[in-house]
Amino acid sequence: MIFDLIKKRRSVFPPQYIEKELSKSDLERILEAANWAPTHKKTEPWRFKVLQGKSKESLGAFLAGKYAEIDPLPKQIKVKKLQANASQSAAVIAICMQRDLKESLPEWEEVAAVAMAVQNMWLCCTELGIGCYWSSPGIIKYMDEFFDMAEGEKCLGFLYMGYFDGDVPVSTRNPISEKTVWLD
């Protein structure tokens, strides 16, 4: 049931991943789910770059190097984490947004559409037993130095993905009644 799946969805972080490849067919299914997200004016602004193998290792090296370059006193733990997140993942998907060049709608609507596409992906990962985590480090603004980006395209973060052992953490939410006002 969809409600159970929504409640089960959690961030599962790269250190929890095991060494097991993700099949291309599962990645394609996950991406196809993203493609069915709501999109105002049908701009379909989501763009994805799938990294596996050496390309994800190159991403980790780029992120760690860029962080060290822009921070005069880089925190070594952060540098190592940026590299490790990529190497510990079976796949990394760069989450990008292609801005409507006509700017026919507000940018936030396109960002929201991309976020809904990611939620679709996350729910599919949950269903397939794949852990994932959306990371948006400040250095994503430099991703045009790593990827070929189209005019108006920008990176919004990375979906780190991998199989994992163990249980998904239990979580709670405050009651929706505390967040809802009913008007008659």
Q: What is the arrangement of strands in the sheet containing 130-135, beginning at the earlier edge strand?
A: 46-51, 91-98, 153-163, 130-135
Q: Which residues pair with 161 in a beta bridge?
A: 91, 132
The answer to the question of whether 58 is labelled as a binding residue is no
The answer to the question of whether 23 is labelled as a binding residue is no
User: In the chain, what is the straight-line distance between the N-terminal and C-terminal CA atoms, in Å?
Assistant: 31
The answer to the question of whether 173 is labelled as a binding residue is no
The answer to the question of whether 10 is labelled as a binding residue is yes
Asked if 79 and 85 count as a contact pair (C-beta separation under 8 A), the reply is no
Distance of CA 117 to the CA centre of its chain: 10
The answer to the question of whether 29 is labelled as a binding residue is no
The answer to the question of whether 135 is labelled as a binding residue is yes
Closest CA to 168 of 134, 129, 135, 124: 129
The answer to the question of whether 25 is labelled as a binding residue is no
Q: Is 182 exposed, middle or buried (0-12, 13-18, 19+ CB in 10 A)?
A: exposed
Sequence ranges of the binding site for FMN = 9-11, 40, 134-136
Sequence ranges of the binding site = 9-11, 40, 134-136
